[in-house]
Structure 1
């Protein structure tokens, strides 16, 4: 593959066109949490690059992990969609949805938020850039991701894991 100047293979992989199943984690612990998640699900479903089938987990209430003291509890869910675009474009759309929900573009890591959308995987794409790391490097350690993901994709084997989601 020939890359444009200043292009790395990781950047090219993030932009490679694909039609693949993409996993998205949704979380919120500020404002009307239920409305935040429902609105985000609808907005994701209406993205021009998202197509059926769309799988959506139940909504789970979870304790905050590595957040500021006294942080409110989170509502979390996971969606899996068919995505007909590159991972970088999908991530950009997810960030726009977060911004529309009131999340600042620049924010502290693990701070309370009106909406957090994490791209977990996008087909078998492996990417490591400043903006995007796929598959998500910590998803297998996060119960608030594994439980809802296990509901919709229990047989999914996560990268770098020997067990499926249900076994984790």
Structure 2
């Protein structure tokens, strides 16, 4: 993949533990997930990339085919906005065209958590504003880190019971 965001590795900067949500319901999202993972594993600003199990879930507030979802854990050297721009470049390279909100799409790469930081800009809100309401986010997130806390909302595991009416299945 040739999605490039101009970032240089800076040995004086530390890495931040980040979580990304992957989703897609058009084409072959599982193959696209593999490409996203390969991209981050090769990226000079990312290291220690791990993926949760993959889950299938129905679309939320939309129609269309079921989604495939997972969560990536990685260490990122750079700021949250740089990570967002990298995610958007990957999406674009893999065929994502932004149309209407919640429209079906081949790939979605969302910044869920960026360490314990909170970010609220016109382009990015971290923690992701609906992550604690989505079982397809909480289950894979908790699989990777059962003790993870959502800044301002507390332990992620405390939010899972409120989502158990949402059907997700591991695939």
TM-score (norm 2): 0.81
1:27 aligns with 2:23: yes
Pairwise CA RMSD of aligned residues? 1.6
Given the alignment, which residue of 70, 76, 80 partners 1:87?
Answer: 80
Q: Deviations over 1:106-158 (max 9, x none)?
A: 42111100100000111122111110111111110011101111111111121
1:128 aligns with 2:120: yes
**SS in structure 2 opposite 1:114?**
coil
Report if aligned partners of 1:87, 1:122 keep a CA contact under 8 Å in 2.
Answer: yes
**SS in structure 1 opposite 2:150?**
coil
Report if aligned partners of 1:28, 1:115 keep a CA contact under 8 Å in 2.
Answer: yes
Given the alignment, which residue of 54, 66, 69 partners 1:73?
Answer: 66
> In 1, Cα distance between the equivalents of 2:127 and 2:112?
6
> In 2, Cα distance between the equivalents of 1:146 and 1:88?
23
1:38 aligns with 2:34: yes
Given the alignment, which residue of 56, 59, 76 partners 2:54?
Answer: 59
**Closer, same or farther: CA 129–58 of 1 in aligned 2, 3 Å:** same
**Closer, same or farther: CA 101–167 of 1 in aligned 2, 3 Å:** same
> In 2, Cα distance between the equivalents of 1:50 and 1:76?
21
Given the alignment, which residue of 140, 151, 161 partners 1:159?
Answer: 151
**SS in structure 1 opposite 2:36?**
helix
The total of aligned residue pairs comes to 148
**Closer, same or farther: CA 167–51 of 1 in aligned 2, 3 Å:** same
Q: Deviations over 1:77-129 (max 9, x none)?
A: 0011011111111110100100011112x421111001000001111221111
> In 2, Cα distance between the equivalents of 1:46 and 1:166?
35
